[in-house]
Amino acid sequence: VLVVVHDDVRTPTSRETVRRVFLLRERFWPDGRAIVPVNQPAGSPTREQFSRTILGGRTRDFAAYWNDLYFHGTAPPRVLASDDAVLLFVARTPGAIGYVSAEHATELPAHVRAALTVVVPPPR
Amino acid sequence: VRGGLAGRLTTGLILGIGVVCAPARGAGAQLPAPPASSPNRIHAGGYAAVVLRAPEAAPLEHGRITEAVIAGLVSGSITPRLTYFVEVEGVSSSHENFTGRQEDEALALERLYAEYTVRDAFRLRVGRFLTPIGQWNELHAEPLTWTSVRPLATYRSFAKSTTGLLAAGEVALGTHDAGYALYAAPLGSHAHDPDEVEFARAFGGRAAIALRPGVWLGASAASLRETRPRMVLDDDPQERGDEREEDARYRYLGGIDARVTAFGVELLAEATYLSSADTVHAERGGFVQVAAPIVAGFHAVGRVESFSRVAGHTIGGGTIGLTWRGPRGLTLKLERQMVDDRPPAVAHGWFLSASTLF
């Protein structure tokens, strides 16, 4: 899985930062710009790999977490349907961060920068 | 606002707003959200619940209770850092016993605040918010809890909502997630529930840390000047107002809580202690609850609790239940609440509920 950011994001991006960003525990980049995370659809292979590897559980394991946040007025990151949609969104949105299949690493569009490559362990 | 036509109309208005404005709510993680950089977006939603209570071989005066709750949640951002949140809750209840049937309606402003985020580790909130004591109180909505009945320790010793100023934040301590909240309520609690603590002013806070993924520990503390004495728990609700206990004074509250989640099993425990100058009226209580998955969204739930309002008088109880959690925050619960001596002011018996987020 390849974590991508808009090219105005200059902050080094660790796995821990990505985890906290996608759980909405970090909402602003260190330069003060708002973080705009974008997810892939629940059930998609990329989403499940990202969820297991970065967040530490299956997508459905976080349903209660998102419901709790919803009760406090916070919605989960927006969902886009495909790698191409994520890349387009990140390219057009300052402060955006998303993830796509690693096969896109050599063909990123303008204004999109690879921030982190996550090696997904094979399923047991 | 309680009862009457005004209550019905207002409840209807909230329902209408909820239905008209509610976005299509996916199963948690599928809910689309606007980018944080897009201000002036309004989210409207809420939750609804119906709870039925039936006495279990109890005296007739305990009666049957039907309660319908609908809550509207509205939130939005004026700028990426300046947000607001409103929760209005309407409750319609019917209490039927040997004296007849009594209906009541109430509307309460549970939360109304504006919040400015200086950075992730420091947010300032002003208005009315849920008191940050323990875990249950800040997540008390029917679709989010494993049982319909709240343990006594999650509401008897403090006001569920507080009006004032709150500073809160989330920080990373190494690889450990942590958070804190500090609040000051100089203008009093304005409690809706006659059984809640009401105070002239209060200060307090809570801190929590994830020792490892799925293991949260928290601690809470508060200092308050209680202004209104409350009923003792074994008073009959029908006689409220005549036998309130005179115990208005400075009081200090301490609490600890823990939540452990692993393999789908959740353990939640909380304990609180509220001091009293005479030591006789110190309150101490706590509970341990376990929810374990069975099959197809069904969970077995068990809880033991204890609460002591007056020295030498401890109420013990237990809950067993079956809870189904489905998509879109839909939750069905069947539970049996058992309490020593069955005091009328403490919920017990069989409870059946259905609730959903919308």
SS (H, E, C) B120-188: CCEEEEEEEEECCCCCCHHHCCHHHCCCCCCCHHHCCCCCCEEEEEEEEEEEEECCEEEEEEEEEECCC
| Residues on chain B touching A75 (C-beta within 8 angstroms) | 31-33, 43
B263 to chain A: closest CA residue? A61
Higher-scoring residue by pLDDT: B229, B237: B229
Out of A26, A60, A79, name the one closest to residue B120 (CB).
A26
Where residue B226 falls among pLDDT bands split at 50, 70, 90?
confident
Give B-chain residues touching A56 at CB under 8 angstroms.
Answer: 213
Determine the 3-state secondary structure of A110 from DSSP. coil
Q: Average pLDDT for residues A95-102, to the nearest whole number? A: 96
Average the pLDDT over A16-23 and give the result: 95
User: Looking at A101-115, B213-227, B237-251, B344-358, which range is the least confident one?
Assistant: B237-251
- The pLDDT value recorded for residue B122 is 98
Nearest CA in chain B to A35: B36
Residues of chain B neighbouring A60 (CB-CB closer than 8 A): 27, 29
For residue A12, give the 3-state DSSP assignment: coil
Poorest-pLDDT segment among A31-40, A99-108, A109-118, B49-58:
B49-58
Which of B4-13, B127-136, B171-180, B244-253 is predicted with the least confidence, judged by mean pLDDT? B4-13
Which chain A residues are Cβ-neighbours of B177 within 8 angstroms?
A: 20, 25
CB B251 within 8 A of CB B227: no
Q: Ramachandran region of residue B186, left (φ > 0), alpha (ψ -120 to 50) or beta?
A: alpha
Query: Among all residues of chain A, which has the CA nearest to that of B357?
Result: A67
Per residue in B40-76, pLDDT (tens digit) is 678 999 999 999 988 765 555 556 788 999 999 999 9
Split at pLDDT 50, 70, 90, the class of B243 is: very low
**Positive or negative: CA dihedral B14, B16, B22, B25:** positive
Residues of B in contact with A66 (CB under 8 A): 28-29, 31
* Token pair for A108: 């990123």
Mark out chain A residues that contact chain B at CB-CB < 8 A: 16, 20, 25-28, 32-36, 39, 41-42, 56, 59-68, 70-79, 93-96
pLDDT, tens digit (0-9, with 9 covering 90-100), for B312-331: 788 899 999 999 999 888 99
Q: Identify the weakest region by mean pLDDT among A51-65, B88-102, B131-145, B243-257.
A: B243-257
Which of A17-31, B19-33, B49-63, B117-131 has the weakest average pLDDT? B19-33
Q: Of B144, B175, B264, which is closest to A67 when you measure between CB atoms? A: B144
pLDDT at residue B335, as a whole number: 96
User: What is the mean predicted confidence (pLDDT) over B142-150?
Assistant: 95
Percent of chain B residues topping a pLDDT of 90: 56
Closest by CA position to B154, among listed B142, B139, B167, B174: B139
How confident is the model over B335-354, as a mean pLDDT?
Answer: 84
Query: Tell me, what's the pLDDT at A54?
Result: 95
B7 band by pLDDT with thresholds 50, 70 and 90: very low
| Cross-chain residue pair B144–A71, CB shorter than 8 Å | yes
Which of A26, A34, A41 has the CB atom closest to B37's CB atom? A34
* Residue B121 to chain A, least CA–CA distance (Å): 9
A-chain CB neighbours of B331 within 8 Å are none
Question: ipTM for the complex?
Answer: 0.90
Is a pLDDT exceeding 60 seen at residue B31? no
CA neighbor of B342 nearest in space, from B65, B55, B100:
B55
Task: With cut-offs at 50, 70 and 90, classify the pLDDT of residue B95.
Answer: confident
pLDDT at B51: 95
Whether the per-residue pLDDT at B353 is higher than 70: the answer is yes
Of the candidates A11, B105, A57, the residue with the CA atom closest to the CA atom of residue A97: A11
The residue among B205 and B174 whose pLDDT is bigger is B205
Instruction: Give chain B positions within 8 Å (CB) of A78.
Output: 32-35
Contact B28 A70 (CB under 8 A): yes
pLDDT value of residue B1: 42
Query: What is the nearest CA distance from A107 to chain B, expressed in angstroms?
Result: 25
Residue B103 CA from chain centroid, whole number: 23
What pLDDT is stored for residue B291 in this prediction? 98
| Average pLDDT for chain B | 82
Q: What is the pLDDT of residue B3?
A: 43
Please check the confidence at residue B20 and state whether its pLDDT lies above 50. no
Predicted pLDDT of residue B87: 97
Query: Which residues in chain A have Cβ-Cβ distances shorter than 8 Å to B36?
Result: 27, 34-36, 95
Residues B291, B320: contact at Cβ < 8 Å? Answer: no
Percent over 70 (pLDDT), chain B:
78
pLDDT at B40: 62
Q: What is the mean pLDDT of the segment spanning B321-349?
A: 87
- 97-136 in chain B: CB under 8 A from chain A: 117, 119-120
The Cβ-side half-sphere exposure at B298, using a 13 Å CA radius, reads 8
Rounded to the nearest angstrom, the minimum Cα separation between B85 and chain A is 7
Query: Hey, are the CB atoms on B75 and A28 less than 8 Å from each other?
Result: no
8 Å CB contact of B170 and A28: no
CB contact under 8 A, B28 and A26: no
Look at residue B61 in the predicted model and tell me its pLDDT: 54
Q: Which of A67, A74, A80, A88 to mutate to test the interface with B (most CBs of B within 10 A)?
A: A67
Q: Which residue has the higher pLDDT, B2 or B177?
A: B177
- Residue B58: per-residue pLDDT: 52
Mean pLDDT computed over B64-91: 94
Bigger pLDDT: B344 or B33? B344
Overall average pLDDT of the B181-188 stretch: 92
pLDDT of the residue at B192: 66
Per residue in B202-212, pLDDT tens? 999 999 999 99
Residue B249 has pLDDT above 50, yes or no: yes
Model pTM score: 0.85
Under an 8 A CB cutoff, do A72 and B138 touch?
yes
* Whole-number Å distance between alpha carbons of A44 and B110: 38
Where is average pLDDT lowest: B20-34, B38-52, B254-268, B331-345?
Answer: B20-34
Confidence of residue B233 (pLDDT cuts 50, 70, 90): low
Q: Measured between CB atoms, which of B144, B170, B213 is closest to A25? A: B170
Q: B116, B120, B129: which to substitute to probe chain A, counting the most A Cβ within 10 Å?
A: B120
B144 touches chain A (CB under 8 A): yes
